[in-house]
Amino acid sequence: MVKRGLALTCVLGMASMAQAGASQNVELRAVSANPHNGPGVFNPGEEVMVDIFVTQDAGEERLLRLVHLHFDGTDGSLEPGLGALVWDSDSATHYQDTSRGSAAPGDPAGVATAYYFANPADLGPNPASQLTLPAAGEVRVATLELTLPMVPGDYLLDALTADSSVSFGYDFVGDATPITFWRNPGNLEDGQLLFTVTDVVTAWKWQSIGVHGMGIGPVALEIAPDPAPFSEPRLSGVSKLVVSYAGAFNPATAAAGAVTVVGNASGGIPVDLSGIVTTTNAIAANTQLEITFAPKLPDFAKYRITLAGVETPTGAAIAGTNSVIVTALLGDASGDLMVLPNDVGGVSNLVAIVGIDPTIVIQVRSDGNNDGNILPSDVGGISNEVGKIGAIIPNP
């Protein structure tokens, strides 16, 4: 289930009315769990939460008494994915308009459904069935569960038809006067929320993973896209990569056969990779792909690693960065594709760090032996590698 509270919002569906100089609105909001989707853009089959707010731009605090929602204008392709409508106030009286012939609140909403927030027959003061609408602010009254279709396209959620209404008591908060007047215009404009479902998925980030000691565990170094240089300087070498996707991919299309590796050693001599076994593993709900090489790719060489044929769940090709250049260069703490005395000096300046900070790249790169510390042993190890110039190795 998608979590609430994300910053971006989908296209707003809004129905407004005027009351005593203030403007009250019903707004529908939804966001994609995929942070790379723009506003209103979602992935096929994505589960979303549609938050239903009542807002007021100015005026007095009001007691929100009634929310009457119809979904009978909704795109029919969304109907199978409509789930429960859940009210935010546990203490409120949830009254079902049985004249509409639909299930009780909390059951599948379907279409042609009218949900009351409070029983309109009870016109007396009943704080348990009221919510306070701030003088200038908003209150979320309910959330609708929705699973989007697998087929790309635009889908309209029409949750506020002409029959819908939001009702307020005209007494102010704290006023003991019973509520005797309902705001129920019955002619609100349709509140609509447009979902654009797309199967355009991109490979947007590659990382090289090394496991460090001292309980630190796996630490990723981000691989810069070609032509920017990247070297893997740790003893763990080029042994595991993780590719991150903006959206889900079909794991059946991301088996080991989708990965090709070619390499050049010093002087442009091709690297013999016949003894390397490649495996893949889909993780993070099929939005990340682990690529493991056993044993690790030989050091002091430059590799082109390519993914081909990986598809989305609907069969579309993956866009974005599907190939990277990685230089295996033990000791290149600075990342300039060379192991020189300045690498030795730089690591020497960090000696005595016990337990590296995995968020500080230079510390990760300086822990050449992956033990989780930066000690004289790291300095000695890098000193043994001085003189390797990976920058002059031609790209494969």
- pLDDT band at 170; cut points 50, 70, 90: very low
Residue 116: predicted pLDDT: 42
pTM for the complete prediction?
A: 0.65
Residue bearing the bigger pLDDT, 72 or 84? 84
d(CA 192, CA 29) in angstroms, rounded, equals 10
Residue 2: predicted pLDDT: 30
User: What average pLDDT does this structure show over 310-315?
Assistant: 91
Give the DSSP H/E element, type plus range, for residue 156: strand 153-160
Give domain limits for the chain. 13-197, 202-392
Poorest-pLDDT segment among 42-46, 84-88, 272-276, 306-310: 84-88
String of b and e for 345-369 (b: at least 16 CB within 10 Å)?
ebbeebeebeebebeeebbbbbbbb
Average pLDDT, the chain: 78
Within this chain, domains 13-197 and 202-392 share the same CATH topology: yes
- Pseudo-torsion of CA 96, 101, 107, 108, nearest 10°? -130
User: What average pLDDT does this structure show over 173-180?
Assistant: 42
Residue 99: predicted pLDDT: 38
Give the three-state DSSP class for 385.
Answer: coil
Q: How many CA atoms lie within 13 A of 385 on its CB side?
A: 27
Q: Closest Cα to residue 167, out of 202, 201, 116, 232? A: 116
- Edge-to-edge, what's the strand order for the sheet holding 165-169? 131-133, 62-68, 165-169
Q: Is residue 44 pLDDT above 80, yes or no?
A: yes
Residue 89: predicted pLDDT: 54
Residue 210: predicted pLDDT: 98
d(CA 112, CA 158) in angstroms, rounded, equals 11
Q: Is residue 167 pLDDT above 60, yes or no?
A: no
Write down the CATH number for the domain with range 202-392. Answer: 2.60.40.1220
Write down the CATH number for the domain with range 13-197. Answer: 2.60.40.680
pLDDT digits (tens, 9 = 90+) for 289-311: 999 999 999 999 999 999 999 99
